[in-house]
Structure 1
Amino acid sequence: MNDESTTGGPQGHPAVSVVGPDEGETIVLGTTRMRVLEDGSHTGHRLGIAESVLAPHTPGPPQHRHAQQDEGFYIVSGTVRFTVGDKEYDATTGTLVMVPPGVPHTFANLTDQPAVMLSTFTPDLYVQYFRDLQNVIAGGRPLTPQAGIEVMSRYATEPATDLT
């Protein structure tokens, strides 16, 4: 069902993209399995969307700030702990967390159950970040915090070092 075409729709409009339940690009980063539903190629790079399954006790990335991207997280199932600056929020099923540019944040699954969240990235810039992290692992390098920070820097993102 996945339509990779971006042309050929009615009256020259872009074709509709449909990604079925077993389709989409899979990115595995440690205990997180991500399925890219929209990498920006069908939205003029205005929007990226991914579904992430966080295994129980999955730590998140270091707290960080995006200079250009809005990031949204909709909790499909489970509970995800968001840390925003010095505040913590336990987001449960049905909760939406929107993080505008410049706001320090991270997330983790601290529970004994998997958590599933749908993430949006506007613009789509951050989808490639996850691909690059997977390439670090595939290249035989460990996914250390320093490796993550190095990759983040390519995508207008920096660690929130003033909070550590």
Structure 2
Amino acid sequence: MTYLNPRDGLVVPPGGGRTVHAAAQQVTFKVTGAHSLAASSFEVVVPPGFDVGAHAHGRSEELFLLLDGELDVLAFEPKVRTPDWRDWESREGRTFLRATPGTLILVPPGCPHAFANPTGRPARMFFQASPPPEHEHYFEELLDLLNADGGIDHDAVAALRLRYDIEQLTPLRHLPVEVATP
């Protein structure tokens, strides 16, 4: 998908885009740096138990819209950065919240943020990062790391994140999940 004419728009039909997988994790690139100077856009499937870990970007702004499922999320600077971001509290008394479909999260550069899927079913979100194309390459490399042997090499993830201007505050990990009730 590239522009034939730089003044033409882009229409990505349902199921369109380029998809990459790692175990149950899936990222579909909808709009890339080849299409937009403003932002890259993705559809992301967050598997049960996946915790991206708290982190912050020096230059990037991110926007998340939860489409399906539930995620625990936060986007604030805590009073104290502890090893588990679920224990964090903002100066105003905010803590993480359980996001449901329709929840939007806007993360400015430098703002610590995290999300995790503690439920027994996948969550799906629309994700936009500005400026492109940094996140496109980051996702491809991260999913390659997660595909390597099924485990998480925390040192490799930390090194990857440093290369992409991501300050890792708590580790990326897989957690035990709640059993979803019908």
TM range (shorter): 0.7 to 0.9
Structure 1 SS opposite 2:138 = helix
> What CA distance in whole angstroms lies between the structure 2 residues aligned with 1:155 and 1:60?
19
TM-score (norm 2): 0.75
Residue 7 of structure 1 and its aligned partner are, at CA, apart by 3.4
User: Do residues 5 (structure 1) and 2 (structure 2) align?
Assistant: yes
User: Do residues 89 (structure 1) and 86 (structure 2) align?
Assistant: no
> What CA distance in whole angstroms lies between the structure 2 residues aligned with 1:30 and 1:83?
25
Change (3 A) 1:106 1:30: farther
Aligned to 1:144: 153
Structure 1 SS opposite 2:129 = strand
For structure 1, the residue ranges without an aligned partner over 5 or more in a row are none
Contact 1:152 1:158 in 2 (8 A): yes
Task: Give the letter for the 1:119 counterpart.
Answer: F
Q: 1:69 aligns with which of 60, 68, 81?
A: 60
Aligned to 1:25: 18
Structure 2 SS opposite 1:34 = strand
For structure 2, the residue ranges without an aligned partner over 5 or more in a row are 79-87, 89-94, 171-182
Q: CA RMSD in A?
A: 2.0
TM-score (norm 1): 0.82
Change (3 A) 1:137 1:81: closer
Aligned length in residues: 152
Change (3 A) 1:111 1:67: same
Runs of 4 or more consecutive aligned structure 1 residues displaced over 4 Å after TM superposition: 137-142
User: Do residues 117 (structure 1) and 117 (structure 2) align?
Assistant: no
Q: 2:35 aligns with which of 20, 30, 42?
A: 42
Residue 123 of structure 1 and its aligned partner are, at CA, apart by 0.8
> What CA distance in whole angstroms lies between the structure 2 residues aligned with 1:146 and 1:89?
29
Aligned to 2:49: 58
